[in-house]
């Protein structure tokens, strides 16, 4: 992991603004997981667009070059900062919704869960939210017409992009499923094999779909000929979408989760149906009561693991706020968080079995994330997803749209276990029109002197990754270190510490095991963080892209 930190030096760009301005950075910055997406955002900013126009361009470009991570067949969360003397924060929930014909037992066969039904093929697909979100962003906050912001992605889909190592890795993970669908195999494989590095992937059907969205706004996707084609393709292959499901889909503007931290800092993060914002607020609040900054490495890891254990225990209580009542006030009450912190043994791990029981869950971990800030101080952080790599591995013929498999994020069997063998949650049970719970956590931390943006793909590990990056920020570490930091994770159940290779030395592992932890080396790195930092006092703007990926961070001159 030390090599990652050195590699990160090439992924960060720092430029000073001409003057220190408390209200505007004076420069724009972008951090995205793909150079083509960063280039699309830069083009839109140079054409006079703001951060929100640039976000549309990035989202659409990622739909082209990262079909394994996001796309028009998926959804996501958008956290917005509107510049002003007093910034305004908004949260756009474009999470997918269960079809109207969905039922709580739709993935059971003979009373038992059949995991493949919620993973592969159109029955696994919820109604997409990304096309609606792009139209909403343009209508509510954009300076440019939607067609201008979508133009770079349309050109990219027509002209093609080159296969890189990340594409090959994700395609290999889902090779069998991609082979099962003729359209997906035609578009994303070559001779039924993972394409070689540098292979050009062209998607003219997706370009035409983007053109419809550009010309007609949300109705170009959710109504008319495009909607008919989507529904016909889904139903012919065994799915349950209807024209009404598409026509009635709406993204939702929600109030962001806001939580006061020390030193005039405030966490602005994702509310339900994200469980991530609550977990981050709880974790940061508990850490504030612990001497983590002065602790030696093993002791610091102990504190982090114990606050994560407690925060993750509570997430099973959350669900779609349009369907369930979320006890956020209770979970973020200072007295409650004090009690959680006081229950932490300074030297020994707390067995998860010793805590009050709660349902646990897991979700697909191959989403995507980006962040952008413009010269005026408007900013947006977004985490987008189709769930597993290439979603349901099903592409609707004639559209180029790869469908998500977000239905697997529901507790498919709330009375027993889901496809990961974890206890189900009634709050996250399948229901018609409902949004599944998610860990996606685009987040800001802001104070009178600083602004920072955080986020990453990674499924259930998202909050732990973001927390570790935020700790780097709170310690004053260089921006390039935030996404490069070695990662470890605890999510209450299973009661195990997952970690990247090299996250702990052999001596540190022995010390943690002596404290009662069970460690599991995942044998691979995970996550792909994109971060921004605006030092209002110094008048500097910085951006950094995770060295694990192939992204690009850029500060515009």
> What are the tens digits of pLDDT across the range 414-435?
554 433 333 446 778 889 999 9
d(CA 464, CA 224): 42
HSE at residue 157, side-chain half, CA atoms within 13 A, is 27
Instruction: Give the domain range for residue 340.
Output: 285-363+458-555
Q: Are residues 125 and 233 in the same domain?
A: yes
Is the confidence at residue 86, as pLDDT, over 50? yes
Of 61, 77, 10, 104, nearest in space to 434 by CA: 104
The CA radius of gyration of the chain, in Å to the nearest whole number, is 22
Q: Are residues 374 and 479 in the same domain?
A: no
Number of neighbouring beta carbons within 10 Å of residue 294: 7
Q: Are residues 406 and 305 in the same domain?
A: no
In a domain, 419, yes or no: yes
- Domain of 544, CATH number, reads 3.60.20
Q: Are residues 352 and 481 in the same domain?
A: yes
Residues ≥6 apart with Cβ < 8 Å to 43: 57, 152
> What are the tens digits of pLDDT across the range 468-503?
999 999 999 999 999 999 999 999 999 999 999 999
Phi, psi of 441 (to 5 degrees): -140, 60
Number of neighbouring beta carbons within 10 Å of residue 164: 16
Q: Are residues 81 and 183 in the same domain?
A: yes
Phi, psi of 489 (to 5 degrees): -155, 140
Which residue, chain included where needed, has tokens 């339900």? 272
Q: Are residues 350 and 424 in the same domain?
A: no
> What are the tens digits of pLDDT across the range 444-465?
999 999 999 999 999 999 999 9
Q: Are residues 346 and 394 in the same domain?
A: no
Give the orientation angle of helix 51-65 with respect to helix 204-216, to 10 degrees: 150
Q: What is the pLDDT of residue 111?
A: 79
Is the confidence at residue 405, as pLDDT, over 80? yes
Q: Are residues 171 and 218 in the same domain?
A: yes
Record the tokens describing residue 4, joined without a space.
Answer: 């990652």
Cα 180 from chain centroid (whole Å): 27
Active site residue 367: yes
In a domain, 436, yes or no: no
- For range 74-97, the mean pLDDT: 97
- For range 518-525, the mean pLDDT: 97
In a domain, 69, yes or no: yes
d(CA 8, CA 4): 6
> What are the tens digits of pLDDT across the range 280-307?
999 999 999 999 999 999 999 999 999 9
Cα 198 from chain centroid (whole Å): 27
Q: Number of helices (H) and strands (E), helices first, in the chain?
A: 19, 23
Contact 276, 440 (CB under 8 A): yes
d(CA 1, CA 503): 7
Q: Which helix (H) or strand (E) holds 94?
A: strand 88-94
The region, left, alpha or beta by phi > 0 then psi within -120 to 50, assigned to residue 47 is: alpha
In a domain, 99, yes or no: yes
Q: Kindly report the average pLDDT of the chain as a whole number.
A: 93
Confidence category of residue 185, pLDDT binned at 50, 70, 90: very high
- Identify the active-site residue in 367, 383, 395, 456: 367
Q: Are residues 54 and 131 in the same domain?
A: yes
Q: Is the dihedral of CA 396, 399, 405, 406 positive or negative?
A: negative
In a domain, 262, yes or no: no
Phi, psi of 55 (to 5 degrees): -65, -40
Total number of domains constituting the chain: 2
d(CA 69, CA 366): 6
Q: Is the dihedral of CA 527, 463, 381, 452 positive or negative?
A: negative
Of 134, 102, 83, nearest in space to 444 by CA: 83
Give the global pTM: 0.94
In a domain, 270, yes or no: no
């Amino acid at each position: 992991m030390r090599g990652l930190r050195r590699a990160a030096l090439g992924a960060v760009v720092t430029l000073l603004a001409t003057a220190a301005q408390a209200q505007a950075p004076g420069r724009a910055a972008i951090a995205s997981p793909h150079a083509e997406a960063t280039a699309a955002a830069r083009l839109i900013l140079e054409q006079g667009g703001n951060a929100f126009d640039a976000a549309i361009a990035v989202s659409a470009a990622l739909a082209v070059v990262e079909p394994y991570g996001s796309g028009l067949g998926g959804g996501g969360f958008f956290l917005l900062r509107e510049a002003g003397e007093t910034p305004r924060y908004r949260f756009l929930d474009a999470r997918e919704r269960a079809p109207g014909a969905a039922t709580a037992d739709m993935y059971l066969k003979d009373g038992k869960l059949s995991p493949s039904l919620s993973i592969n093929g159109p029955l696994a697909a919820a109604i997409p939210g990304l096309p609606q979100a792009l139209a909403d962003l343009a209508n509510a906050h954009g300076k440019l017409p939607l067609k201008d912001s979508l133009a770079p992605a349309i050109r990219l889909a027509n002209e093609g992009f080159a296969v890189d190592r990340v594409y090959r890795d994700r395609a290999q993970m889902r090779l069998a499923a991609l082979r099962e669908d003729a359209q997906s195999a035609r578009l994303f494989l070559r001779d039924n094999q993972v394409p070689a590095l540098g292979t050009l992937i062209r998607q003219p059907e997706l370009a035409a779909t983007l053109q419809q969205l550009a010309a007609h706004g949300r109705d170009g996707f959710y109504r008319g000929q495009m909607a008919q084609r989507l529904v016909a393709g889904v139903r012919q292959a065994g799915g349950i979408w209807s024209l009404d499901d598409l026509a009635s889909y709406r993204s939702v503007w929600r109030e962001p989760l806001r939580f006061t931290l020390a030193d005039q800092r405030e966490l602005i993060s994702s509310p339900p149906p994200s469980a991530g914002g609550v977990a981050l607020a709880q974790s940061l609040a508990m850490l504030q009561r612990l001497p983590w900054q002065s602790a030696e490495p093993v002791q610091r890891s102990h504190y982090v693991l114990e606050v994560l254990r407690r925060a993750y225990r509570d997430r099973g209580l959350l669900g779609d706020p349009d369907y369930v009542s979320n006890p956020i006030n209770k979970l973020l009450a200072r007295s409650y968080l004090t009690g959680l912190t006081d229950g932490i043994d300074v030297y020994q791990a707390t067995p998860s079995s010793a805590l009050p029981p709660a349902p646990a869950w897991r979700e697909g971990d191959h989403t995507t994330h980006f962040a952008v800030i413009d010269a005026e101080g408007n900013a947006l952080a977004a985490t987008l997803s189709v769930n597993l790599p290439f979603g349901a591995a099903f592409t609707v013929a004639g559209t180029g749209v790869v469908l998500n498999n977000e239905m697997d994020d529901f507790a498919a069997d709330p009375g027993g276990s889901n496809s990961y063998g974890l206890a189900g949650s009634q709050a996250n049970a399948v229901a018609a029109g409902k949004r599944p719970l998610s860990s996606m956590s685009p987040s800001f931390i802001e104070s009178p002197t600083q602004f920072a943006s955080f986020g990453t793909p990674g499924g259930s590990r998202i909050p732990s990754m973001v927390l570790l990056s935020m700790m780097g920020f709170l310690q004053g570490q260089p921006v390039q270190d935030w996404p490069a930091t070695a990662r470890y994770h605890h999510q209450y159940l299973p009661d195990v510490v997952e970690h990247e290779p090299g996250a702990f030395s052999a001596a540190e592992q022995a010390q943690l095991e002596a404290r009662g932890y069970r460690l599991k080396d995942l044998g691979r790195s995970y996550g792909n963080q994109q971060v921004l930092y605006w030092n209002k006092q110094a008048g500097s703007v910085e951006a950094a892209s995770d060295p694990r990926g192939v992204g690009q961070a850029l500060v515009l001159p």
